[in-house]
Chain A
Amino acid sequence: MNAYYLAILQGSVMTVGVSLAALLVSIILGLAGAAAKLSERPVLVALATVYTTLIRGIPELVLMLLIFYGGSIGLNHLMELLGSDTVIDINPFVAGVLTIGFIYGAFMTETFRGAMLAIPPGQAEAAWAFGMSRSQTFLRITAPQMVRYALPGFTNNWLVLIKATALVSLIGLQEMTYLAKQASAATRSPFVFFLFTAALFLIYTTVSLFALKKLNARFSLGTQRVQL
């Protein structure tokens, strides 16, 4: 019995790993998407709009199955065309990270776009007037302020992303949910194992919430708070 709890606890490392890796992917895609949407180039704007609209209209699970099962067949077809007969198996970790990152990249795009729009244009203009280059303006002026505006939306996305990692168990990645299901099948006592897993997820989301609140306080230094 205890061995199963220990296994689930070890599976939490995998959950944290998947979620952090997926977060990284989604931040990169989100920044690229937001930049594309604000670029005023019709092609880029259209691409980013199609991306965010499609992704937010399809369930995560369907996308994940599509990428995992479809991707491995597609890759093997590609290998055949290239004349190689090695069979590639898509690793569930990679498929999970890519899918979750790809999906939450769409949500991050909207969050980051909103944050970029929230910064008064005078800030960047002032920076240019001081002779800063575009990248300097972004790194020194725009990005630090963007963090503040993006944090509430980012926090929401992150919490939903953590919970989405449970779905990776359905494509066979051995994270908490997968191990809990295995433990329940082996011991015929599913209730306690799923409750234990739920508690671990709750701890993860609670700790994240606490940390992001601290971060929010740090980045909101010097802003006026209105009391109703």
Chain B
Amino acid sequence: MNWAVIFEPQNLALYGTGILTTLGLLFSSLAVGGVMALLFALALTGPIASLRWIVGAYTYVIRGTPLLIQVYLIYYGLGQLEWIQARWDSVWPWTHFKEPFFCALLAFSLNTAGYTAEMLAGAIRETSAGEIEAAQSFGMSRFKVLLHIVLPSALRRTLPAYSNEVVMMLHSTSLASAVPSMLDVTAAASRIYSDYYLPFEAYLAAASIYLTASFCLIGFFKFSEGHLLAYLAPRKH
């Protein structure tokens, strides 16, 4: 074991860059994917049958295929289409399809949106009928019921499942290393492995970074669950 190599300044800097890329990918894909998930969940539980069917098919395909293939499809695959080739030199937003970060971000966002939409839709469907009836009897419109009654409680009840999804997403960002020129934590470890031929040290360092990040995220969600879901806990007196 040769741990001194890992702690050399330039290698620490490599891991530092990796951490920034990983966290950047994680939080931006969660943000983009979260907004999409909310819209998809509303479509899944909404009154328009064709929309329900389309979004249902989308989540089914996303959840039934490996993320790695989705990343490849977007990064390598879309470049094959002439329609995009004609545009990606000049026409915004297609110019972004040449950037590895954008492609990885798009793939991760579409992926997490599929999983999160199903969780949210489940929570929306499970809202107790009495709450909705009470809101309706107060004369609230469909939109108001959704905004003031259904969503605040459904979003909170999704939290425990969503915390799993966030940790899964953190782990999924390691697939960004499969895209050339992306330097996330895994890619940093791979580079140190190939530079020094030290697989144990390089990958164990990466593993401990992911482990720490996972525990931080889990701790954060436990904390927020304690606050936001306190009203669901059994009475203590």
Contact = CB atoms under 8 A, between A and B. Distances in A.
A142 interface: no
A54 interface: yes
B186 A201 contact: no
A61 to B, nearest CB: 4
B200 A70 contact: yes
B69 A59 contact: no
A177 B66 contact: yes
Interface stretch (A22-30, A123-131, A182-190): A182-190
Contact of A62 (B64, B197, B206): B206
Interface in A50-66: 54, 56-63, 65-66
A166 B63 CA distance: 14
A189 B200 CA distance: 37
A62 B66 contact: no
Interface in B185-218: 186, 189-190, 193, 197, 199-200, 203-204, 206-207, 210-211, 214-215
A100 to B, nearest CB: 12
Contacts of B170: 59
Contact of B186 (A54, A61, A169): A61
A163 B177 CA distance: 17
B69 A58 contact: no
A54 B193 CA distance: 22
B58 interface: no
A60 B189 CA distance: 14
Contacts of A14: none
8 contacts: A57-B211, A59-B173, A62-B186, A66-B203, A69-B193, A166-B68, A191-B76, A201-B66
Interface of A: 54, 56-63, 65-66, 69-70, 73-74, 159, 163-167, 169-170, 177, 180-181, 184, 188-192, 194-195, 197-198, 201-202, 205-206
